[in-house]
A and B are shown apart, each in its own frame.
Chain A
Amino acid sequence: MARQEKKRDVVIVGLGWTGAIIGKELADEGLDVLALERGHDQDTVPNFQYPDMIDELKYGIRLKMMQKPSQQTVTIRRTESETALPYRSLGSFLPGNGVGGAGTHWNGLNWRPQAEELRLRSYISERWGEGIIPEDMTIGDYPVSYDEMEPFFTRFEKVAGISGTAGNLNGQRREGGNPFEAWRSEEYPMPAMPTTYDGHKFAEAARAMGYHPFPAPGGIASTSYVNEYGMQMGPCNHCGFCERYGCYQYSKSSPQTTILDALRRMPNFEYRTESEVLRVEMAADGRTATGVTYFDEKAGEEVFQPADIVVLASYQLNNVHLMLLSGIGQPYNAVTGEGVTGKNYAYQMNGGVTMFFKDEHFNPFVGTGANGMCIDDFGINNIDFGAEGFIGGAYWRSGQTNGQPIRSMPLPSGTPAWGADWKAAVGEWYGHAMSIGTHGSCMSYATNHLDLDPTYTDRHGRPLMRMTFNWNPNDIRMTQFMKGKAEEVARTMNPDLMQSSFKSEGAQYDVRPYQTTHNTGGHIMSESPTTGAVNKFSQAWDKHNVFITGAGNFVQNIQYNPTGLVGGLAYHTAHAIRTQYLSNPRNLV
C-alpha cells in the first residue's frame, strides 16, 4: 500500500530547466507547487565548487553528473527487424541527473529556431511543392508561429542571461549579428563573449569568402548580470570546463544560477529529491490525472502524490517513457502510422573539419562551452532544397570549448592509436589544431520512434523504453553538402594538415561515441489530437490537467541546439496555464 501525501495544486516531475521555469511561474501565481526530482540535490556551492569540479576523469570521462543507466536507460535498435539492446553505458547522448538536470552540464549554446523551421512543411510546400518531401518523412508545422513565440524566447533569454549580438532587431539588420536570424524584439541581455584565436581565424576566412560571421550566442555571462528573479551571474573566466560540468563561478546559465534560489525561498514551493516518479495516475473517467506515484529512495517505498495539475518536466526520453507507462496519448505504431506517443523521435546531424597548424598556438584549454564564431549562410532558410536534393541545414561554429586532454586530443588521421608514434603525436599536435563544426538538422521519419521494450525492465520492474533510430539518406545528403562547403573554407586557411568527419552514405547509428544530447520528439505538439500528443500549450490532448514540456515537443528537430526553443516553449506553457487554464480548467484547444 503506497503512502499518500497531502494534495498539491501542482506536481512537477523533474527539476531541470522547464521544471524550474514552470515551478517559478506557477508559484508566483500563488499555487502550492511541489517538484519531484529523481536525482540528488546539487547547487553551485558546494557541489560545483573549484577545484573539485575541474576533474576531467570524474565528470568528463566517468560522467558523474549524468543519469546512471543502472537507474534508467533505454534499449536501442536501428531498424524494426533488429532486436533492441540496452544502452548499458553512456556514449552517444548524456541525459543529466539531479536538480538542474541537463541544464547544469550543457555547453550553454542558446539559439532561437528560424521562423521557417516552425512551419517547415508549409514553407517547403509553398516554395517547392509537397512532392519534394520523401514519403516516410513525417515533418510538419509547429502549432505555434515564430511571431507568437517571440516574447517567450525573449523572456527565456533574459532569465537565462544570454550573451550575444542581435542580427535582426525588429526587422532592422544589425552589423555583427546573424543576418539570417528571425526578428527579435530586444538585444541580448549581455554583449557577445570575446572569441579565441580559432574563431577569429575562421571568421576571417569565412568573411573573405563572402559569408557572414557572428559570435555564438550563449548562456555564458560576458559581464555581471542580474535577472528578473534577482539572480546574479558573474563574468566567465574562460576556464574551459562547461560541457559535462557544473559551473563553479555563477557564469553559465543553469536553473541553479538563474531560477532555483529565488524559487527555493518561496513558502508555497517545495521539492523532494531522490523521488523517482513511476507513473501518472488517472481518474476513473481517464480524462484527467489525479497525481503521480513515485518511489521515495530514502524511505524505500512508493508514495502517491495527489495534485490538480501534473507537469511532466523531465528529460525528453523520460517524459515519453512515463507517458507510455501511464497511458497518456495512444502509443505510436510505426507500421500503421497511427498513435501519437513516441512519434517523430529525432536527433541531430553534426559534422566537422579539423585543421592542424604546426607552428601556431591555440591554447585549447582557453574556452567556454559557447565560445567562437558562427555562420548561418547554410541554414535551413538559406538553402534551395529543390536544387540540392535534401531538406535541412546547419549552422557552423569554430570555437574551442575545452582542451581537456583525455577527450580533446585531435591527432592527424593515420596516427596510430598507441605506441611511440602516438606519444610523439600528442607531444607534437596538442594545442595546434582547430576545427569547424557543422551543427545540422535531423528530420522526423515514420521509422524513427519510441515505444516500450518487450524484454528489458528497470529496477522497478517497468519495461525500458525502446528507441528505434537510424540515420536517413536525406540527412546524410545534408551533412555531405556541408562537408563540401566546410572543406572549401578550411582549405583557404592553408593548414599543414586537415581532415573531415561527416556521416557518409550507409552510416549506421553507433551508440558509442558522444554525438549530442539533442534527443527530440516523442510527445510532439500538433494542431489536432490525431497527429501529436500535446497541443500548442504543451497540454496533453487526452488529459487536460497534464502538461508536458521539453524537446519532446519538437515536431522535428531544428538545426540549432534546442535549449532556446525548450525555454521559450516552457514560458509559453506557463503563460497559458496562468492566463487561461487556472480560471477554467479544460482543453485549451
Chain B
Amino acid sequence: MTDLPGLPSRRSFLKASAAGAALSGFALSAKAQAPQPPVPLDQYEREYLNGVEWAFVLAAVSRLIPSEGDGPGAIEARVPVFIDRQLAGDYGAASDWYMEGPFQPDADPLRGWQTPLNPAQIYREAIPLVDQWCTDQHGAIFADLDDDVQDAVLTALQKNEAGLAPELKDFFTILLANTKEGYLSDPMYGGNHDMQAWVYVGFPGARANYKEWVDRFNVEYPLGPVSIKGERA
C-alpha cells in the first residue's frame, strides 16, 4: 500500500497498533488521525523551564507517577510538557491571584497561599536549592540519584524537611498537584498523552452525554474517551 502525502502512514498506524495493547475499534480511527508522533521529550522545545529545571521535573514526576505497573507513568503521559506550558502561562504567573503585600510566608498553612512568589518563580527558586541539598546530602543532583533516594528526597520535601525557606514551602504541593493535573487533564494541554491516563482509570473525557446511562445500574460504561479536539483513544 502506498502512503499518500498528507495522510497518515499505513506503516506508522500498524506500528502504533502493535505497541498499544487492547486497542478498540475507536482507537483505529484515532491512530489514523494522529498526524505524527510527538516530539521526544529530550527534543521538546521548552517554553519556561531551563535545562536544569527540566532535568529535575523529568526525574521528579517519574517518581511521583512512576512507569512501573499498570497504566502510564507521568513520563509516558508527557506530564513535563504540561508543567512547562502551565508555568509559561497565566497559572505560572499567578495572574488571577491577589499578589499585593505585605506577605507572611511563614503563616499557618491553613491560611493559604501567602508567599510573594508565583508558581513559576517557586519552581525557579526551589529547584537549584533542592539540587544543592541533594548534592550536600547524597553527593549528586536530584536527577542523578537512584530511585529510592529520589523518593526519600521527595518525602523530605513533602514534609518540609529539605530546608526550603517559608517562601518556597508550597513547592512540593504545587509540583504534585501539577503532576496530577498533567496526568488527568485534556491532552490539549500537553499531558495525558493519547488519553492513556483516562483509558487507565476509565474516564470517558469529553463525551458528556449519558442520558441512557443514568439507570443502567452497576454496568460498566463501555466506551473509551474522546478529547475536546475530538481525538479518540
* Chain A residues proximal to chain B, CB less than 8 Å: 50-52, 54-57, 61-63, 68-70, 73, 76, 83, 85-89, 91, 194-197, 200, 235-241, 360-363, 365-366, 403-406, 409, 417-420, 422-424, 426-427, 430-431, 455-457, 508-512
Contact = CB atoms under 8 A, between A and B. Distances in A.
Contact of A52 (B100, B200, B205, B228): B228
Interface string B199-211: 0111111111111
A420 B69 contact: yes
**Which of B100, B215, B216 has the largest count of A CB atoms less than 10 A from its CB?**
B100
The list of the 5 closest CB pairs from A to B, nearest first, reads: A239-B208, A57-B185, A69-B98, A430-B201, A366-B210
A50 B208 contact: yes
A427 B73 CA distance: 12
**Which of A50, A69, A83 has the largest count of B CB atoms less than 10 A from its CB?**
A69
A457 B213 CA distance: 50
A70 B95 contact: yes
B214 A431 contact: no
Interface in B184-233: 184-186, 189, 197-198, 200-211, 213-221, 228, 230
B210 A55 contact: no
Interface string B74-118: 000000000000000001001111111010100111111110000
Contacts of B160: none
Contacts of A51: 206, 208, 228, 230
Contacts of B114: 85-86, 88
Nearest to B96: A68
B8 interface: no
B100 A363 contact: no
A430 B197 CA distance: 12
Contacts of B130: none
Interface stretch (B20-28, B44-52, B59-67): B59-67
A54 B110 contact: no
Interface of B: 63-66, 68-71, 73, 91, 94-100, 102, 104, 107-114, 151, 154, 158, 176, 179-181, 184-186, 189, 197-198, 200-211, 213-221, 228, 230
B100 A457 contact: yes
A510 B108 CA distance: 10
Contact of B99 (A70, A241, A427): A70
B11 to A, nearest CB: 31
A82 B208 CA distance: 46
B110 A511 contact: yes
Given A55-B186, A68-B96, A194-B215, 11 more contacts: A52-B228, A55-B206, A55-B228, A56-B184, A57-B185, A69-B97, A70-B98, A360-B218, A403-B203, A409-B184, A431-B201
A361 B204 contact: no
Contact of A61 (B70, B73, B98, B181): B181
Contacts of B201: 405, 409, 426-427, 430-431
Contact of A195 (B211, B214, B220): B214
5 contacts: A68-B97, A405-B184, A417-B158, A420-B69, A423-B65
Contact of B69 (A86, A88, A194, A424): A424
**Which of B64, B114, B208 has the largest count of A CB atoms less than 10 A from its CB?**
B208
Nearest to A456: B100
B151 A406 contact: no
Given A54-B228, A423-B71, A510-B110, A363 B65 contact: no
A57 B66 CA distance: 22
Dominant SS at the A interface?
Answer: loop
Contacts of B176: 417-418
B131 to A, nearest CB: 20
Contacts of B113: 88-89
A85 B181 contact: no
B70 A194 contact: no
B111 A419 contact: no
Contacts of A200: 217
Given A62-B91, A418-B64, A430-B203, A88 B97 contact: yes
A363 B98 contact: no
Nearest to B203: A405
A69 B96 contact: yes
B65 A238 contact: no
B185 A430 contact: no
Contact of B198 (A73, A362, A405, A510): A405
Nearest to A75: B98
Contacts of B228: 51-52, 54-55
A406 B181 contact: yes
A512 B210 CA distance: 32
A455 B102 contact: yes
A512 B110 CA distance: 7
Contacts of A55: 186, 206, 228
B155 to A, nearest CB: 9
A238 B209 CA distance: 6
B112 A87 contact: yes
Given A237-B209, A427-B71, A89 B112 contact: yes
Nearest to B211: A237
Contacts of B185: 56-57, 61, 406
